[in-house]
Chains A and B, each alone.
Chain A
Amino acid sequence: MIASVPEYWWPFLYQYGVGLIVFLIGLALILGYRSCNLTRRADRLWFAVLILGLLCYAGLHFLWYMAALYVMPGPVGGAA
Chain B
Amino acid sequence: MDILKKVPVRDQNPKVRATNFDEVCLGYNMDEAVEEAQRCMECKNPQCVKGCPVAVDIPNFIGALKKSNIAEAYNVITQSSALPAVCGRVCPQESQCEGKCIRGIKGEPVSIGKLERFVADYALENDFKPKKPNEKIDKKVAVIGSGPAGLTCAGDLARLGYDVTVFEALHKYGGVLVYGIPEFRLPKEKVVQKEIEKVAEMGVKFEKNVIVGKSVTIQQLMDNEKFVAIFIGSGAGLPKFMNIPGENANGVFSANEYLTRNNLMKAFDENYDTPIIIGKNVVVVGGGNVAMDAARTALRLGSNVNIVYRRGEKELPARVEEVHHAKEEGVQFDLLRNPKRIITNENGDVCGIEVIKMDLGEPDESGRRSPIEVIGSEYEIKADVVIMALGTSPNPLISSTTEGLDLDRRKCIVTTDEFGQTTKVGVFAGGDAVTGAATVILAMGAGKAAAEGIHKFLSE
Q: Real complex partners, A and B?
A: no
